Structure formats: structure tokens, C-alpha cells
Structure 1
Amino acid sequence: MPNEVRSLRVEGVVLRHSDWGEADRLLLVYTRERGKLRALAKGVRKLRSRKAGHLEPFTRVALMLARGRDMWIVTQAETVEAYLPLRDNLLKLGQAATVLELVDRFGYEEGEDPGLYQLLTATLRRICEEEDAFLALRYFDLRVLDLFGFRPQLFHCARCGAEIKAEDQFFSALQGGVLCPRCGPQDPTARPASVEALRFLRHIQRSNYTESKRANIPAPIRSEMEQLLQYYFTYHLERKLNSPDFLRRIRQNGRNGSAEG
């Protein structure tokens, strides 16, 4: 095509890569300008490659790309932000993996979404900088749902519309949010949801990040919140996420004593 763009400059976060041929790697990058994008890094597995260190997963990188026959080719790469604490802390790495997996699952191929890119980079930085990343992760979860049109209804019953009161309720992915005690038993897919878990989810949903951080959430409630959101993600993605199991194994091995997310 005569008007086809032959070169492209983008900034993005490397989500994952896989070996390609004898010395190349195929990258999946979430970019600010083009959304999710695949590119081939030629010769990057060679010992003398200067690009290799810039193209690892969990790295924010500036790329110059040239259009090849079937895909983009990386011609230049420069690290913008390395998120180094992720390399030294397996727990933080597991937390970041849950973020990257959701971006991969929800992000569009070559579809610009600067809001998601900004949320992604801000969340990775928060995981690196904050000792307890639970609220950063739950804030990310709820904002991703907002961005892609799956905002859960937490203030009124998603079935009958009644205002939710300060009592234990149900949560239904099928109905798109909270169900009151009268409607909940009528949905066999709904899960019990404690008043405390819903209170904190509502707080995070309606607050900016600074306000969200004021919440002091007990460990059992954290676990319930996380499980409810994973159940909701699984329903909308129509498949189970892989990274939460990896994160769960890290916790069970005692890599960090906190009750974070």
C-alpha cells in the first residue's frame, strides 16, 4: 500500500517475549500510541546485542520500528523506566505480573488507549515504590473495569435497583454487581459478599488514588476483595487468569510476611 506507514516511534511496556528463530525474539508491547503491538527484535539473543537489556518484560522502553514483510521490526530501543525493584523482589514481580496479564487480556491490538497506558505505568511505579501494594492493585483492577465498560454496580442492587444497605450482600458477575439479600439467592452464580468488603470496594471505586490509600483494610477482607474481583474478571474474560496463582504460590512460600494483594 503506497500510503502505508513505513516507520514508527512508540513508547511502551514490554508485556512478554518469546524466542523466534535462532537469535531473534518476538515482543508483545503495550504502547501509548498504538495499544498492544507485536514486534520482532532481530539478533537480540546474541551475546553482543545492545538491545537485549532494553527489551525485557516489565521494562518501559522507547522504540523505533520499521515495517517488515509481516510485522514491525525493532531498529532502536532505549529504556525509559526499568522498574528495578521488580527484579529484586519476587513478590513485587508477581504483583506486576497480574497487572501485565490484565493489560494483555483487555488491551486492543494496535488500538490507542492512553488512559490504560497511563494507568499501567503509574501502577508499576506504585508497586516499586510502596511497601504494601494492595491498594495500588485493587485501584488498578477497578479502573481497568471502568475503562472497558465493565464497572460493577456497587451502590444499588444490580437486579432490582434497591439501594444497598449496610449488611452482607451478594455479588454477581452475571448481573454486573451487588445483589441485595432478597435477589442474591435467586442467582445461583452469585457469591456472598460481606458488608466490609463491599464498603472498601465502593471506597476505592469512587475515590482517586490518594484518597483510596487512606483505607486500612484487614487481611481477611483483602482476600475476599481480591477473590471477588478475580471472579468478576474471569467471567468477563471467559477464562481464568494465570498470574494470581503464581502470586499465591509466592505468598505461600513466605517470600513476604505482609498480608498485601
Structure 2
Amino acid sequence: MLFKVQGIVLKAINFNDWDKILTIYTKQHGKIQAIAKGVRRPKSKNISATQVFSLSEFILYKGKNLYNLNQSETIKSYYPLRDNLEKLSYASYILELTNAGLIEEETNIKIFELLLKTLDIIVEEEKYDQITRAFELKFISYLGYRPHLINCVNCHKDLENNIRFSLINSGALCNECKSIDRYSKKLDIQTLNIMKFLLFTPYEEILNIDINKNILKNIGEIMLSFISKNLDKTNFKSLNFINSLNI
């Protein structure tokens, strides 16, 4: 039986001579795998809609192991991302992280809307690293792994000086509790406040301020460790590429 979904292509792998296997994050059914037969032929009507980053309407039917693509129509291509290496690099990391965190066929409207809004902003704005750090914090929280930043995760006292971030305890530790995790990472109060700001503040307000690059770098290192622990993924190729370019 045919059915229609709206989704964005997270990943595409060439298969056989003319086919592709697509990883699509759909609004209605979550992340799914679909085979697009003949889509690599030059005259295929589905070429545009099945490109990575394309937000499209797909008409599918369920096969034995994969969904099968019947028809597709592009809603938004996000083509401008391909004209700028920095935009493309950060947007690729956003897709890679999204793909890593999602369970197949589990819907999450908040994440779907967050993903589209993040890509829209990367297309239009230039604060890629700032928006990416905000996405990491919001995304991991929507998955159910929100880091505890409001007060000490152990004793719930206010955080002032000598703060540490504990991966084991998934949050910040005060000076009195830092000894419970000897592997915790140093976290200054300014970085902590920026993390809270990025987590709880809408993108529109985040874009109105300029955050120090060193603070963003520190947050990025903390979040990579936190994400790796919770998603059991330690290597993000697109993030490695960003770091190799020093952007």
C-alpha cells in the first residue's frame, strides 16, 4: 500500500548500478531506510528529491526489508549549503549527529522541527559554530539526555567557583562534590552560563549576541565527550573535517 511522508534525506549510499539506499528522517514515521531504484539514471524524475539535505515529499511502500520509493517531490533543496564549504561542513555534521542519535521508526516532532530550523539558519547566517553548539545541547536534551547545568547535579547547591563537568553524572559538580568524579572536566562559570543560554534560549536570541570563540571551543569539547558517551559514537567524520580546517 502506498503512503505519503514528508522527510529530509540524512544519508544516501549508492547501490547496484543505478539505485540508492536512502536514510530519511520523516515527520510522520521517524528515521527510515528506503531504496530508490533507478534514481541515479540521468533522466530520473527523483534525482533532486533524493539528494542529501533535500526536504521532500515521498510516496513509499513497505518492502520486505526496506521501504521502496515510488515517487518524490522536492519541497526545499537547501542547495545554497553546497556553495559554501563552511556551511556545508557544519550542516553535514548536523545531519551526521541527527542520524547517529535517532532510533529507526521512532517519531520526535521536536527534533524534526529543530533540524529544519537549524539548517534554515545555517543557510542564512554565519554564526555556524554558535548555532551548532546550541543544536548539540538542544538535540541531546530532546533525546532525553539533558545535561544538568542549573545547580550541582549531586547536592543541588548553587554553582559558583571550581566547577567541574562530570560525564558519569551527566552534569555540573560544585567544589564540594567534585571529588566524586576524578575524571570530571574543569568548567568555568562563564562557560557554564553560556551552555545554559544555548540550551534554553531560542535561536533568534542566540543570533543576537557574539560568543567568544574559545568558550565555544570549550563547549564543543565538552559536548563531544557527552554526546559520545550517550550515543556510543566517538567518531564524527564531518566534525573531524571541520577541525582539520580550523573553522
Range into which the TM-score falls when normalised by the shorter chain: over 0.9
Counterparts of 2:85 and 2:79, CA distance in 1:
12
Shift of 1:210: 2.2
1:54 aligns with 2:49: yes
Report what 1:196 is aligned to. Answer: 190
Q: Which of residues 144, 149, 152 in structure 1 aligns to 2:147?
A: 152
Report what 1:205 is aligned to. Answer: 199
**Percent same amino acid at aligned positions?**
28
1:236 aligns with 2:234: no
User: 1:1-261 to 2 correspondence within 5 Å?
Assistant: 6-165=1-160, 167-242=161-236, 243-251=238-246
2:136 aligns to what SS in structure 1? helix
RMSD: 1.5
1:94 aligns to what SS in structure 2? helix
Counterparts of 1:250 and 1:10, CA distance in 2:
37
Counterparts of 1:193 and 1:199, CA distance in 2:
10
Counterparts of 2:28 and 2:177, CA distance in 1:
44
Counterparts of 1:168 and 1:201, CA distance in 2:
16
Aligned residue identity for 1:67: K
Structure 2: unaligned runs, 5 residues or longer: none
2:70 aligns to what SS in structure 1? strand
Any conservation in 2 of the 1:200–1:215 contact (CA below 8 Å)? no
Aligned residue identity for 1:72: Y
Counterparts of 1:188 and 1:8, CA distance in 2:
53
Count of residues in Structure 1 that have an aligned counterpart in Structure 2: 246
2:172 aligns to what SS in structure 1? strand
1:236 aligns to what SS in structure 2? helix
Any conservation in 2 of the 1:91–1:250 contact (CA below 8 Å)? no
Counterparts of 1:210 and 1:53, CA distance in 2:
30
Counterparts of 1:168 and 1:111, CA distance in 2:
40
Shift of 1:244: 1.5
Structure 1: unaligned runs, 5 residues or longer: 1-5, 257-261
Aligned residue identity for 1:9: K
Aligned residue identity for 1:182: E
1:140 aligns to what SS in structure 2? helix
Counterparts of 1:9 and 1:159, CA distance in 2:
47
